[in-house]
């Protein structure tokens, strides 16, 4: 695949850096656009070209129009559901307007650039459908984050139908793995790993029975690369070019804490706190469509993924380790 060019927005971040690495390994010349608000310089692959910038600015549009990219994997986003509840305007500015700027710049370029959009496979569907959810279930988001991601998907669908922009949406389940931020509120596995390493109890909000579909980050990166090069059906209704990326397995937060203790052979004491507004109760997704069309399946089970994630965080805590 020599000679192909890819742009990864948010490529200095958790998922984006893994996607950039796999695209480079697949022969793409990769440019990363990131404002480093949550991404890190040390996540950026040495072989990538880095551009410091923000998808919500005109400069991002200029980069896309002039960059001659064959694929854009759009991962720059506000990812915290609780933050979206606290400040829905900021969330929509990044997740809706930032995405629309990417799509409009591709349209203006006149180039057949494929846009692979990072959507959500949990917050999009809400609590009114019984999991695991297929791509076609009714959408009823519980949070501004889910509403923004759904709105962005509608813009992608519009651009594909009216302007011929080559768009695809990947609806991620709960992604975890090395490089996830353990200090925010969006990545429970990373947060739990940090607490275990600190010898502190993990905090479970509510009764702990809320479930998520935990998918390992390298599997998610593989899905992005598969979507970048797959032969896709023609654009149509909202779900025509949308693919769930998960495992189809529900794991409660309480069970996650227990599984982390087993994987790390460390005690994981638990403390409870009040449930948080806007938090979904149950979430998992079917992956039949991604398997059939993209040729993608997850390869990393939860026990293996938790062990790898914990080891990564532990290595960073070791004396003399780079941070």
Torsions phi, psi of 254, nearest 5?
Answer: -65, -45
pLDDT tens digit string along 262-308? 999 988 999 999 998 767 788 899 999 999 999 999 999 999 999 99
- Concerning whether 176 is annotated as a catalytic residue, the answer is no
Compute the Cα dihedral for 244, 80, 10, 65 and give only its sign. Answer: positive
The continuous run of DSSP H or E covering 175 comes out as strand 174-176
Name residue, tokens 């290595």.
315
Average pLDDT over residues 101-121: 96
pLDDT bracket for residue 183 (50, 70, 90): low
How many Å apart are CA 245 and CA 161, to the nearest integer?
24
> What's residue 1's pLDDT?
44
Catalytic position from the list 145, 155, 176, 310: 145
In-domain check, residue 206 = no
Confirm whether 211 is domain-assigned.
no
Arithmetic mean of pLDDT over the chain: 93
- Looking at the predicted structure, is the pLDDT value of residue 211 above 80? yes
What is residue 297's predicted lDDT score, i.e. its pLDDT?
Answer: 97
Let me know if residue 121 belongs to a domain.
yes
- The pLDDT of residue 69 is above 50: yes
48 touches 30 (CB < 8 A): yes
- For residue 281, the model assigns a pLDDT of 86
Cβ(208)–Cβ(253) under 8 Å?
yes
Q: What is the pLDDT of residue 82?
A: 83
CATH number of the structural domain spanning residue 99 = 3.40.50.720
Residue 158's domain comprises 5-173+217-245
Does residue 194 sit within a domain? no
> What value does the mean pLDDT take over residues 189-207?
93
CA–CA separation, 194 vs 202, rounded Å?
Answer: 9
Question: Does residue 123 register a pLDDT over 70?
Answer: yes
Residue 178 lies in a domain: no
Q: Calculate mean pLDDT across residues 59-83.
A: 94
Q: Would you say residue 323 lies in a domain?
A: no
Residue pair 309/190 in contact (Cβ under 8 Å)? The answer is yes
- Other CB atoms closer than 10 Å to residue 186's CB: what's the count? 19
Is residue 199 in some structural domain?
no
Structure confidence by residue, pLDDT tens digits, 230-270: 999 998 899 999 999 999 999 999 999 999 999 999 889 99
Q: What is the 3-state secondary structure (H, E, C) of 48-97?
A: CEEEECCCCCHHHHHHHHHCCCCEEEECCCCCCHHHHHHCHHHHHHHHHH
Please tell me the total count of domains within the chain.
1
Q: How far apart are CA 225 and CA 114, in angstroms?
A: 11
Residue 18 pLDDT exceeds 50: yes
| Residue 270 placed within a domain | no
């Amino acid at each position: 695949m020599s000679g192909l060019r890819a742009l990864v927005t948010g490529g200095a971040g958790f998922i984006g850096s893994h996607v950039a690495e796999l695209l480079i390994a697949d022969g793409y010349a990769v440019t990363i656009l990131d404002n480093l608000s949550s991404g890190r310089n040390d996540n950026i692959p040495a072989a990538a070209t880095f551009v410091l910038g923000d998808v919500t600015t005109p400069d991002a549009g200029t980069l896309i129009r002039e960059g001659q990219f064959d694929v854009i994997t759009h991962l720059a986003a506000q990812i915290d559901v609780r933050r979206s509840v606290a400040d829905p305007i900021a969330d929509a500015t990044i997740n809706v307007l930032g995405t629309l700027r990417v799509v409009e710049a591709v349209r203006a370029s006149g180039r057949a650039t494929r846009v692979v959009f990072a959507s959500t496979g949990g917050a999009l569907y809400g609590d009114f459908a019984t999991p695991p959810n297929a791509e076609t279930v009714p959408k009823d988001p519980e949070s501004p984050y889910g509403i923004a991601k759904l709105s962005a998907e509608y813009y992608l669908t519009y651009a594909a139908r009216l302007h011929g922009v080559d768009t695809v949406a990947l609806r991620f389940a709960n992604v975890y793995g090395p490089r996830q931020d353990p200090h925010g509120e969006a990545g429970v596995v990373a947060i739990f790993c940090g607490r275990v390493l600190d010898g502190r109890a993990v905090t479970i909000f509510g009764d702990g029975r809320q479930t998520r579909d935990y998918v390992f980050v390298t599997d998610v990166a593989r899905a992005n690369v598969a979507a970048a090069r797959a032969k896709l059906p023609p654009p149509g209704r909202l779900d025509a070019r949308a693919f769930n990326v998960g495992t189809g397995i529900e794991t409660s937060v309480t069970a996650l804490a227990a599984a982390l203790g087993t994987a790390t052979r460390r005690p994981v004491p638990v403390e409870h706190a009040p449930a948080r507004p806007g938090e979904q109760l149950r979430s998992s997704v079917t992956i039949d469509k991604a398997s059939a069309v993209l040729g993608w399946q997850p390869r990393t089970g939860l026990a293996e993924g938790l062990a790898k994630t914990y080891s990564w965080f532990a290595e960073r805590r070791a004396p003399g380790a780079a941070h």
